[in-house]
Structure 1
Amino acid sequence: MAVVASELGWPSYQISPVERWRGDEHADQEDCIAEEVPIALLYNGEPHAVMLATPLDLEDFALGFSLTENIVASPCEVYSIRVYLRAEGIEVRMRIPEARCETAADKGRNLTGRTGCGLCGARTLQQAIRRPAPVGQGVQVSSDELTQVLAELTDHQRLNRITGAVHAAAWVVPGRGIQWVREDIGRHNALDKLIGALARRGADLGGGFVVVTSRASYEMVQKCASVGITFLAAISAPTGLAVRLAKDTGVTLIGFARGDKHVVYANPQRLLHNEA
């Protein structure tokens, strides 16, 4: 796969003057504000979707989106990714097999994908609620390692430290800690970026687990299961649909993972606890 990225010149955040108040006292200061930009995804020249996303790691985003939306079956089917700056936003143009492009046209979204929604613009219930195949055996994770990862994750969230407004998705390999982190104002975009980054590097997606700084909504489980990731931990709550999908596909789903506390919602066999 050839990746050609232009020099975008589109910052991931802006600096803006603000009034900062505490009680009756205020100060004129500057604040860093995360950007969200329309990202148009095109396959073989044909528009597919427009997503609102943070303009970082867009090649990873494009590949991850293509995989988790089942537009392509493997990274090798994305022949090239080219990123272009436009006046209204950013275009990401991909070349894929023509047969896949016809399938993508059937799945095309007719609305802009909102920042907080991974399903916006899907035109049918079948498009929105996909059921991936069951995942494999996957990894086993100790509760101590999960606690350690949660303690270290903040240090890997560069953009969030600046703006306080973006989610992170982290890839962890048991015994090796956090390997990759991707950030975006949309939780599903951050996960797509992470999956794309892993796919570009040929990572074993059954050999690690994902931690996200968000709730575990349905599409987060769907995206993990669709590429064979077997373990997802979120710092906030899951949804009922996410729990049902995790049980159906065999994904271990952890919610409220904060400090040394967590709740196991589905498939607890992969999380190992120290016996008292």
Structure 2
Amino acid sequence: MTRPGPTTRARIRELSGRAVRERRDDLATEEPMEIRLHGADGTRKTVAITMRTPGHDFELAAGFLHGEGLAGAADIASIAYCTDEDLAPEERYNTVTVRLRGPVPDLPALERHFVTSSACGVCGSAGLDRLHERCDPLPPGGPPISPEVLYGLPDALRAGQGVFGKTGGLHAAGLFAADGTRLAVREDVGRHNAVDKLVGWSAMAGRLPLAGHLLMVSGRASYEIMQKALAAGVPVVCAVSAPSSLAVDLAREFGLTLVGFLRGERCNVYAGHERILVE
């Protein structure tokens, strides 16, 4: 069985004016991934099926579980690809089993079905009032960020996007220190998956919560991305494109700094402007 990679080769026909040529092209791979929970009491449940780019799958599972309040790093005994005999060989690298140290949490209480897409993330998300039940607002203050650090983030993120350079078809999320030092970059066809992979990397490395860090995303800032940042304790979220209205509401209510349209030496600060040193 061949393990799927982040890129897939395809034959295409390229047109330039009226000139035509046949060539190969690299596409961003998109395949489903099922996340299964196995409780210490023998309970087994599927909690998510998401369309993702293969790679860093265990981080994706760990980050998703952390962001949804289902399991933290200390709750996870092991993460592995599924080897159940009921799966076809080509499906085994698309199924991840997370074994918990305790029982599987109560899934119906989450008021949603975890079937996600690479385009828009989990649908039917709980409102801000519901979010207060499992996340506290971030404390005020630090890290102080200079505009020069902000202006350098898009290029630093782009420099870490190795698969995007081949395909032009992936989102990215980058974790940075307050001085702009790039710590990690993750890519995926889904912007929310890229953030989950980054949070999962942080959780598995014992870095959570991410106070004093910045999150930079290659697309827009959605409510779901802000929710994941809040759960990970990231105080500053920056995006190349615009935020949604609910993303701004979440940032203001929970004390996050939200920067959008970060391009060149320009940006809009939608919330938490006190962390940006402009004087």
TM normalised by structure 1 equals 0.88
The residue type equivalent to 1:226 in the other structure is A
4+ long deviations beyond 6 Å: none
Q: CA deviation at 1:151?
A: 2.1
Give the counterpart letter for 1:26 in structure 2.
V
- What percent of counterpart residues are identical? 30
AA aligned opposite 2:30: E
Alpha-carbon separation, structure 2, partners of 1:12 and 1:20: 23
Q: How does 1:44-193 map to 2 (within 5 A)?
A: 44=38, 45-72=44-71, 74-84=72-82, 86-88=89-91, 90-99=94-103, 101-104=104-107, 106-107=109-110, 110=113, 112-120=115-123, 122=124, 125=126, 130-131=131-132, 132-137=135-140, 138-175=142-179, 177-193=181-197
1:110 is displaced (CA, Å) by 3.9
Quick one: which of 254, 263, 272 aligns to 1:267?
272
Q: Is the 8 A contact 1:16 1:32 kept in 2?
A: yes
Gaps of 5+ in 2: 39-43, 84-88
In structure 1, runs of 5+ residues without a counterpart are 1-6
Query: How many residue pairs were aligned?
Result: 264
Equivalent residues of 2:238, 2:262 under 8 A apart: yes
Aligned CA distance change for structure 1 residues 20 and 200 (closer, same or farther; 3 Å): same
Asked whether the 8 Å contact 2:70–2:105 carries over to 1, the reply is no
Distance 1:145 1:33 in 2: 32
Higher mean alpha-carbon deviation, 147-156 vs 12-21, is at: 147-156
Code of the residue aligned with 2:222 in structure 1: it is S
Report SS of the residue matched to 1:31.
strand
- AA aligned opposite 2:16: R
Deviation at 1:67, TM superposition (A): 0.5
Which of these residues, 201, 204, 215, is aligned with residue 210 of structure 1? Answer: 215
**Local SS of the residue matching 1:102:** coil
Q: CA RMSD in A?
A: 2.2
Compute the displacement of 1:111 (Å).
6.0
Amino acid at match of 2:73: P
The CA distance in 2 between the partners of 1:245 and 1:42, in whole Å, is 29
Give the CA deviation at 1:215: 0.3
Q: 1:227 aligns with which of 205, 227, 232?
A: 232
TM-score, normalised relative to structure 2: 0.88
Cα 1:265/1:64, change in 2 over 3 Å: same
Deviation digits for residues 208-262 of structure 1, max 9, x if unmatched?
1100001001101111011211100000000001100110000100000111111
AA of the residue aligned to 1:130: L
Q: Residues 147-191 of structure 1, C-alpha deviation per residue, up to 9 Å, x if partnerless?
A: 122222211100100110111100000236111001110000000
Partner of 1:243: 248
Structure 2 Cα separation of the partners of residues 127 and 39 of structure 1: 28
Query: In structure 2, what is the equivalent of residue 28 of structure 1?
Result: 22
Once residues 270 and 127 of structure 2 are traced to their aligned partners in structure 1, the CA distance between those partners, rounded to angstroms, is 25
1:246/1:57 CA distance change after superposition, 3 Å = same
